[in-house]
Structure 1
Amino acid sequence: MAGSEQRPGGLRIVYAGTPGFAVPALEALADSGHQVVAVFTQPDRPAGRGRKPQPSPVKQFALERGIPVHQPERLDEAARETLAGLTPDLMVVTAYGLILPQAVLDLPRLGCINIHASLLPRWRGAAPIQRAIEAGDAETGVAIMRMEAGLDTGPVLLERRIEIGERETAGELHDRLAALGGNAILDAVDGLATGRVKARAQPESGVTYARKLHKSEADIDWQQSALTIDRRVRAFSPWPVAQTRWQDKQLRVHAARPVMEASGTAGEVLKVDRDGVLVACGEGALRLERVQLPGKRPISGSDFANAGVQPGQRLGNAA
């Protein structure tokens, strides 16, 4: 990456983002030779036990850096007038949470670009990090693309690839991709400023959609293979967290490991020892390494083994 003394200066950038994933890229732009003239982010939302309105991570960072913040509920005419008054050269969008109408896409001189957490056209949509792990993908990355009216269909300016770790969770991969996006965005912005980066159309083949996560997906189906369940446990960490039933109680599974040499009736507890609790799957078995009972803190699989679980018991709806 070019040093800041070589970076084309003077680009007026409006940044639109909301969650923690969007902070590294904003920080990189704020520390560059470009000018972040304003941040657009979601309105404060109730959070925590007190359900008090809380600022988004992007808003918190912007306020710390003295960057003006705008929080429209919708990108209506008033919001578009505010944006036009900022006379941006470029708008950078990362997990903003609002769809940009064509009038907004057309407003900046250099258009709008988006940091997306997958290698497009694979995993367009809301949950690309989780779906990549769930599908067993070997690699993923970030794509920086020009935005257009379609869902993640715009031409790609550049991409950065990384391997997905064999035991990596969605939370861990999220943090690595956020940092990767923060590094890549400067190359993309500099390339746009100089005309060095040219967008390429996405291939028409290989399109997949990463549908939004729902809590209903968290229930473990012990008829599935241990490899499939393991991927889902990792994909659903830290949310919504895979879960099953044990003695009519909800049991959340935070971490597990497949053991393909073992077998038994799906959902049956095969073994209980210091390594954890081994549960049979449709193919192979799953060792529960970190679990949580209602109202309790997460505990290790070995501690769960001492909590009364016994070989021959069943997990799941038949428990």
Structure 2
Amino acid sequence: MRLVFAGTPDAAVPSLRTLAASAHDLVAVVTRRDAPIGRKRVLTPSAVARDAADLSLPVVKTDRLDAAATASLAELTPDLGVIVAYGGLVREPLLSAPTHGWINLHFSLLPRWRGAAPVQRALLAGDRRTGASVFQLVAELDAGDVFAEEVYDIPPDSTSGDVLEALSAQGAKLLLSVVDGIAAGTATAVPQTGEPTYAPKLSAEDGLVAWDDPSERVLARIHGATPEPGAHTTVDGARVKILAARAAATDAAPEDGAEDEPLTPGEVRVRGASVLIGTGTRPVVVDVVQPAGKGAMGAADWRRGLRGAAVVGS
């Protein structure tokens, strides 16, 4: 089939590569415009734009699938549109322009976590299982009939970045199987069942750790907000990002981060090679942090650089 692919971030690249290597014809790759990145705000092409260029595929850069974009894509007479984390809405008449419409690879088991941040919201909620779904794109948000889905059990201490990386690879294979099925006329989609939940994009405040929460909720927030928008706390009013954290062991030696006496919420203590921070229940082990204006560092080195007793969230 003649395919139009729309995607922007790293999570869309495995699907792009998988489709490019298939028997189908990628007639256009749609991605968002180059964006200013880093402190110097250098205009940088998206991950999909870079890979499409490497694959010598035609690229359309647009932040909105407006009338002009619709006209240029319709002229290509695509059989199917495929979208993976593009970051914009597909509306009529573009929605109906391809012969088979558009399909969407979404990183959740629909109808749970419809929206822009399904993996992050799943981890924030403490879900232990998620997955990938391929569905028919319709005007309503992530509400179309589902062609296929695949379950993914979330490993302990995984961040949203870890889970998204795994799902993007797993989902690319699932996506191709659906594209092949549509081409062969064998693909069937079924309506979503169950009560929808929604996954709006996270704000910076969603990464702020509340140390008086139970340890499970503290870790869920840290893992869900990593790498974006970033889990963070404060020490003497200065922001510190928490890049890696895990549950404290209950049956290990102190140097392995074991609990040996209670810590008050936010209290920081070095035990052996580990840094523990108190929560509303058990402490958690923090392994890597990034103080404001500095690079990532081991939590033990960071703690040694603080004067006197340390309490985070202050």
Q: Which runs of 5+ in 1 are unaligned?
A: 1-10
TM-score where L is the length of structure 1: 0.91
SS of corresponding position for 2:93:
helix
Distance change (3 Å), C-alpha of 1:163 and 1:309:
farther
SS of corresponding position for 2:311:
coil
Measured against aligned partners, the alpha-carbon deviations of 1:137-169 in whole angstroms (never above 9, x if no partner) come to: 121111000000011000000011111011111
Q: CA deviation at 1:86?
A: 0.2
The answer for the alignment partner of 1:228 in structure 2 is 217
TM-score where L is the length of structure 2: 0.92
Does the aligned pair in 1 maintain the 2:157–2:245 contact within 8 Å? no
The within-5 A match list for 1:143-154 is: 143-154=133-144
Does the aligned pair in 2 maintain the 1:146–1:156 contact within 8 Å? yes
Does the aligned pair in 1 maintain the 2:8–2:47 contact within 8 Å? yes
Structure 2: how far apart are the matches of 1:304 and 1:46? 31
Q: CA deviation at 1:232?
A: 1.0
The answer for the alignment partner of 2:279 in structure 1 is 281
Distance change (3 Å), C-alpha of 1:77 and 1:241:
closer
Is 1:14 the counterpart of 2:4? The answer is yes
Structure 2: how far apart are the matches of 1:172 and 1:73? 27
SS of corresponding position for 2:158:
coil
Correspondence for 1:113 among 98, 103, 106: 103
Measured against aligned partners, the alpha-carbon deviations of 1:263-286 in whole angstroms (never above 9, x if no partner) come to: 3432223x3233322222112212
Structure 1: how far apart are the matches of 2:217 and 2:273? 21
The within-5 A match list for 1:208-287 is: 208-259=197-248, 263-269=262-268, 271-287=269-285
Measured against aligned partners, the alpha-carbon deviations of 1:285-309 in whole angstroms (never above 9, x if no partner) come to: 1222111222222221222332236
The within-5 A match list for 1:50-89 is: 50-89=40-79
Structure 1: how far apart are the matches of 2:139 and 2:40? 38
The percent identity for this pair of structures is 39
Structure 2: how far apart are the matches of 1:66 and 1:296? 39
Structure 2: how far apart are the matches of 1:301 and 1:13? 48
The answer for the alignment partner of 2:299 in structure 1 is 301
Write the letter of the residue equivalent to 1:293. P
Structure 2: how far apart are the matches of 1:163 and 1:100? 31
SS of corresponding position for 1:237:
coil
The answer for the alignment partner of 2:177 in structure 1 is 187
Write the letter of the residue equivalent to 2:236. Q
Correspondence for 1:90 among 80, 90, 93: 80
* RMSD of Structure 2 on Structure 1 (CA): 1.6
Does the aligned pair in 2 maintain the 1:136–1:231 contact within 8 Å? yes
Measured against aligned partners, the alpha-carbon deviations of 1:37-74 in whole angstroms (never above 9, x if no partner) come to: 11111111112333222111111111111211112342
Distance change (3 Å), C-alpha of 1:300 and 1:274:
farther
Structure 2: how far apart are the matches of 1:301 and 1:114? 40
Does the aligned pair in 2 maintain the 1:91–1:108 contact within 8 Å? yes
Does the aligned pair in 2 maintain the 1:277–1:304 contact within 8 Å? no
Measured against aligned partners, the alpha-carbon deviations of 1:224-260 in whole angstroms (never above 9, x if no partner) come to: 0111111111111112221112233222211122337
The answer for the alignment partner of 1:196 in structure 2 is 186
Structure 2: how far apart are the matches of 1:84 and 1:141? 32
Structure 1: how far apart are the matches of 2:265 and 2:97? 57
The answer for the alignment partner of 1:7 in structure 2 is none
Q: Which runs of 5+ in 2 are unaligned?
A: 251-258
The answer for the alignment partner of 2:311 in structure 1 is 314
Is 1:178 the counterpart of 2:168? The answer is yes
